[in-house]
Structure 1
Amino acid sequence: MKITETKLKGCLILEPQIYEDNRGVFYEVFKKKELESVLGYQVGFVQENTSISKKGVLRGLHYQKGLGAQSKLVSVQRGEVIDVVVDLRPNSETFGQHIKVNLSDKNRTSLYIPKGMAHGFVTLSNEVIFTYLCDNYYDPELESGILYSDPDLGIDWSYPISELIVSKKDMLLPSFKDLEK
């Protein structure tokens, strides 16, 4: 497995070695000891979530606050997405910056997102099955987010904005500037 750190410290791209033969495909999504070796701390996933979305769905940008903060390992089981992570750690050199990563059932890449980052994705294929391993339980009282179209973030979602399918809840999220207050 190849693990690469992104420009957002602690945010990692995991690329598996893929074994393919006449029976099909085998690959390891992650190895705890390898991930912990790169991170320098232990991970303990306690919850797995799956979302199924049609083409053009944008989910995000979400995170949990305070004691509810979550690290996540995300991957695509079917389809393709553009995954976006925004650094919300005030003391980080990359505070307010973001990365985009293509995740698909073809590249089988996963993304490790540490606590203190907002996360979202847009679906590029007709159906997407997206999985999240989380190291903390979901708590609706600690749920938060940032508006996906905030011009201060300057995210190019690689999809026509007028064709996005976004929940009413996500359309009402605060801007990055409002979040800083």
Structure 2
Amino acid sequence: MPFGDAEISEVIIPMIVSSPASTGYGLGAAPSLTGMILIPGGLLGATAATMVTRLERLTEPRALMVIAGSVVVTSVALLLLAGGQVVSATLGGLGMTEAMNIVVAAMPPERVASVGGLNHVLRSIGGALGGQIGGSILAADLLPGTPYSSWSAFSTTFWIGSAIALTAVAASLFLRPRVKAEPEFGTSLA
């Protein structure tokens, strides 16, 4: 998946879409069509980012993290079941954007900057390592006589990414509920 939603959208999906139909999974799309196929996921991700605060009022960050991670796992499962048909990949844009906002929203205000920085570093490391691992898996399993990866190589990267997303879902169950800040002595509540 290389191993996050951004990487699946930016690396794997274009590879699948632009691969020839003769591979059994590719759509043989031109670069312009490949870019247009990525637009719905970006729009869903941007929309999800604006909905986090409203959704958080209805539930708590832990529940939203479970939902967001589950959306990512579901989108990958749909990709696997669809044999590479990428319509379902747009669901992932909703899941991970929301998850990152929820992590920051679950922190006390004095920790938001450090958590945001840690989030950025971990996503960069995960994307870099995931890209290398995923690329290695895809390069090691080519269709005979072609430069194209086999569907089993794509499936392997999707399964690894799903396992990581499920780990995130499990870890989110251990997030502490946010404690509402008490007003300091002598401050106005107005």
Assess same fold via TM > 0.5: no
TM bucket normalised to smaller: under 0.3
**TM-score, normalised with respect to structure 1:** 0.25
The structure that has the greater radius of gyration is 2
Between structures 1 and 2, the one with greater helix share:
2
